[in-house]
Structures are given as C-alpha cells and as structure tokens.
Structure 1
Amino acid sequence: MEAGIFTRIAQLCRAREERLSERWRALVSASLGGRVPETQVDKEQREILDVLLTALALGAGRDIEAEPYAELRALLMELSRSRAQQGFSPRETAISVFALKGAVLDVFDQDGDAEAFREFVAFSQLIDELALLTFETYARAREEVISSQAEQLLELATPVVKVWDGVLALPLVGTLGSARAQVVMEKLLQTLVDTGSEHAIIDITGVPAVDTQVAQHLLKTVMAARLMGAECIISGIRPQIAQTIVALGIEFGDIATKGTLADALVLAISRTGVSVGGDLTKRGR
C-alpha cells in the first residue's frame, strides 16, 4: 500500500518536475543567502530529485536504509559534509531537504490534486527521515572539522625553535593539558631527532600556573628527551611558581631550572662546550 502511494507521488512529481525543481531551488537559495550560486544549487537538487523519484518509482518504501536509496544517501551525505566544511549552519544544511516538502506541497496545491495532497503525509515523513540523515552527517562532519582545527591550533601553539647549534627552545604559552602535553612531547622528540640536538629548553614563562598535573607533564617530557639522548632545562620559574612547586612537594630532581630563558640559553650553550663570556651574540663565532 505504502509503496503504491510513493510510486504515485513519484509519477506526479515527474509530471511536474520542472516547476518542482524551480520552486525547490528558490526556497533553498533564499535560505542560503546567496552564498552558493543558484547554478550549483540547481545542479545539486536536480540530481537529488532525480535519484529520489527513481527510487520511489522502483517501489522503495519509507525505510531510507533500503537498497534503492543507497545513491540518494550518498548524495545527501556528500552535500552535508560540503556544507559543514563551508561553514553553513545545521539549519541551512537541513533546509536543503526540508524545503522539498514545501515545494511539492506548493505544486500539488496549485494543481488542486486532493488525492495527492492526502498522500503527501506519507511522503512528508520520508523527507523528514532524509533530512535527519542530512543533519546527522552534518554533525559528524562538523565534529571532524573542529577536531582537525583543534589539532592545528595545538601545533601552532607548540613551536620548537633552534636557537643554537645543538640547542632547541620550546616556549609554552597557556594551559598545559593532557592533550597538549602529548603534542608537546611528540613535537619536541621529533625535532630532537630531525636536528640531532642534544639540549632543549622548555620555557614556561607563558604558563599561568603550575600544578601537580602540569609538573608531571613536564617531567615526562624531560624523561622522554633523556631517553633520546638529550638534556632539558626548564626556564621561566617565577617566584610564584617556585612557591607553588615547593608547597605541592614537587621534585624536579637533577633537572636544571632557570628563572629566565636567557639564563637557560647561557647554560645550554655552555653545555655544548662553547665559552659564554661577554656579549652572547658574539659567542660561538
């Protein structure tokens, strides 16, 4: 019974396909505010409409997971991912499907087809399912975009700089959470390997506070560097941070610490065997 209703809907839509496409395009283009060319919207929707009507004509029911809807699902998922990457909102993405109901209703209403109007209810529920698929795909794609951007920000916020032959500097700014600490460790170790450096300065001047967790992250990074044959110096130990470390009972053991990056740089360069007397800019030349 339901398959017959959808077959009839498909036939009616085919007979009015041009008007239906124009009305659907107008509704969607208005919702997108002109940010997608009408030619592109028209191409996307004509392809979706053709695949949808073909599936309905084949007797596909309301189950959008059914095989006849496979190509349609692929088209809608690709559209959703594209909209998410372009920065469109969930509403603007879902309206690309929801607006089809309004377009069909307008066309049927103009023709005064009472029977088709009654059958529209079943068709409307199918469109709702397709719109939900679009929304779910959009949400997943948006999460992937956000995750990728977060990883890129972590990379940008963790620069490893070669400041002298055999000496690297890693200036940290902001909170050092578990995820960022892992990126810090991986990037430092990789740069040690790439440059063949044996000394690294981890500067925490820009870290607002040092608690037990932050201290543990720093210690793990230093230990990992030692396993790679490199020694680390921690700089930026301000008076407040020093007091906090003592109050928490955190032990840095034999890890060298300095109050400023400049002091740490002098120590690191001296460890390379270069004499550090006089103007630092003239040393090692």
Structure 2
Amino acid sequence: MSQETDAVLQLLGPHEERILTEWLQEAGANASRTTEAGRRAMRSDAEDMLRNLRDGLQAGGDPEAFQAAPWSGLRGTLEALSRSRAAQGQSAGETSMFVLAFKRPLFGLVQQELKARPELQMGAVWVISALADRMAQWTASTYQQTREELIKRQQQDLLELSTPVIKLFQGVLAVPMIGTLDSSRTQVVMETLLQRIVETGSRLAIIDITGVPMVDTLVAQHLLKTVSAIRLMGAECIISGIRPQIAQTIVHLGIDLQGIATKASLADALELAMAQQGFTVTRSR
C-alpha cells in the first residue's frame, strides 16, 4: 500500500460521520423535493459504498486496477445502486453525480488533515479522484447495460403480445399477424404456435396476414417455414388475408403456395376450417 493510499484510508475511519453528512449534503439529500424515505435510501447507499471503499483500500486495492479482486465488493454495491436507480427511472447522470459527490468532503479532509504534509496532499487527491472517476464510470456502464436489458425484455414482451395464438374452437387455432413479419417475430410465432398445438391437440391452424402491410420473398419464406413446422407436428394450416395486391405480389415473385389452403378473409378461413373439422353452422330462429 502506498503512502498516499494509506493516508486516504486513515481519513475514512475517524471521520466517517462527517464524510457521510457532507456527502449527502453535496448530493442534495436535504433538498425539499427529497422525501424522508429517499434520504434514508441515499444514506444507506453512501454507507455501503464507503464501507466497501475502505475494505478495498485495506485489501491493497489499486485505483488504477478497479476490476481487480479487492474492489469486488465496491463494484457489487455500485451495480446494485445503478440497477435500482435505473428501475426507478433515474438517469445515469444522476447516479454518477451521487457517486462523485463524495469527492468534496474527502478533499476538505485532505486539505485540513494533511496540511502539514504537502508532499502527501497531491497524492491523496489523485487517489480520491481516480477512485471516484472509476466508480462513476462503473455506475454509468452498469446503468447502460441495465437499460439495454430492460429494453430487450420489453421488446420481447411486446413481440409475444403482438402474436397471440387464439383457440377458436375444438381443434382449431388462429394467429392474427399485424405489422412487419421478420425473422425474430417468425421464430416467436412458430415456437408459440407449435407449443399451443401440443397443448391443445389441435389439427388445424389459421395464420391471418390481413394486418401484414407487405408480403415479399422474405415474408413468404417465413410463412412457408411456419407451415412446414406445423405439418411436421401433424397439423394443417390455412393462410387467410390474401388481398388482391398480395395475391399479385406472390404470383409476380413466383412463390409456390401449392398445397397450402389460402383464403381472402378470416371468415372464409374459419368456414373452411369448420367444414374440414366436420362442423356445420346453421342459423336458428
């Protein structure tokens, strides 16, 4: 442990309460918009960070090697702080500013306690600055990763919600498609539909593409792959929503849909499905 690191460590223990108080003041914990629960949470976060900072220094942690083992506890605390604040909707900047706010009380202690040792003052200031900067960088990167994971999870949830598999009646399922049909969405549709076929024992699936704005070669390939997977499960498929423009596009592209039942509307597909299942619909007075 260097003299500068040891000097910073000696400042943390005896002055912990002062550091915490000034840190929270600098971070705005006493602002009128901050609730009592918010102040308690900020103090708890500051206490955890200060404790792990002290442990890292005692273990011989080098501020230049923040990813080393001595700083594992501090990194874990910063990650938990970033994830918690990201979930609450706070920005990465707000989290980083909270971390950087502990510089001021420590700089004040260095100026006061080491004034008789000017050769250590600049070194101690450098140690504090290096640690604070790396801590802030770690919170920012963790925050970014958390937000990306949240966005991906939300996108997946929306993807699943946008491709529901509906049981129309015994033995018949329907999948209304709305929007662009790409590879990832096709994969979700296929997995969900095949799972529902197994669960319900259905023998017929209707894929309705009325809400698909455009059918090109790629979309047609996705549809054909889905139909092939359905047939491998022992079921059959009807594609509905074949509008005149889509029919012309399919013919123009030379896409072969032979052997696949197609209908202009979902109502027509439902009528065909009921006929194939042996159902007859009659109007009762």
Query: One fold, TM greater than 0.5?
Result: yes
Q: Name the SS of the counterpart of 2:158 in structure 1.
A: helix
Q: Name the SS of the counterpart of 1:37 in structure 2.
A: helix
Which segment drifts farther, 147-156 or 179-188?
147-156
1:167–1:198 contact (8 Å) kept in structure 2: yes
Aligned residues: 277
**CA deviation vs aligned residue, 1:168-208 (integer Å, no higher than 9, x gap):** 11001111111011000000111111111101110011111
Counterparts of 1:266-277 in structure 2 under 5 Å? 266-276=271-281
- Structure 1 residues 266, 106: CA separation in 2 closer, same or farther (over 3 Å shift)? farther
Tell me, in whole angstroms, the C-alpha distance in 1 between the residues paired with 2:78 and 2:233: 49
Which residue in the other structure is 1:41 paired with?
Answer: 42
Tell me, in whole angstroms, the C-alpha distance in 2 between the residues paired with 1:58 and 1:163: 65
Tell me, in whole angstroms, the C-alpha distance in 1 between the residues paired with 2:61 and 2:185: 49
Which segment drifts farther, 57-66 or 39-48?
57-66
Which residue in the other structure is 2:53 paired with?
Answer: 52
- Structure 1 residues 186, 59: CA separation in 2 closer, same or farther (over 3 Å shift)? closer
Letter in 1 for 2:54: L
- Structure 1 residues 211, 53: CA separation in 2 closer, same or farther (over 3 Å shift)? same
**CA deviation vs aligned residue, 1:212-271 (integer Å, no higher than 9, x gap):** 111111111111001111111111111111111122111111101111100000001110
Tell me, in whole angstroms, the C-alpha distance in 2 between the residues paired with 1:208 and 1:152: 22
Of 154, 161, 185, which aligns to 1:156?
A: 161
Query: In percent, how many aligned pairs have the same letter?
Result: 47
Of 246, 249, 252, which aligns to 2:251?
A: 246
Letter in 2 for 1:83: R
Q: Name the SS of the counterpart of 1:275 in structure 2.
A: coil
Deviation (angstroms), 1:112: 7.7
Q: Which runs of 5+ in 2 are unaligned?
A: none
Which residue in the other structure is 1:7 paired with?
Answer: 6
Q: Name the SS of the counterpart of 1:159 in structure 2.
A: coil
Letter in 1 for 2:52: V
Which residue in the other structure is 1:97 paired with?
Answer: 99
Q: Name the SS of the counterpart of 1:169 in structure 2.
A: strand
Which residue in the other structure is 1:138 paired with?
Answer: 143
**CA deviation vs aligned residue, 1:94-145 (integer Å, no higher than 9, x gap):** 2232222234235555x48544652212320122112212222222222211
The answer as to 2:76 corresponding to 1:74 is yes
TM-score (norm 1): 0.89
Tell me, in whole angstroms, the C-alpha distance in 2 between the residues paired with 1:85 and 1:45: 19
1:234–1:256 contact (8 Å) kept in structure 2: yes
Which residue in the other structure is 2:23 paired with?
Answer: 24
Letter in 2 for 1:13: L
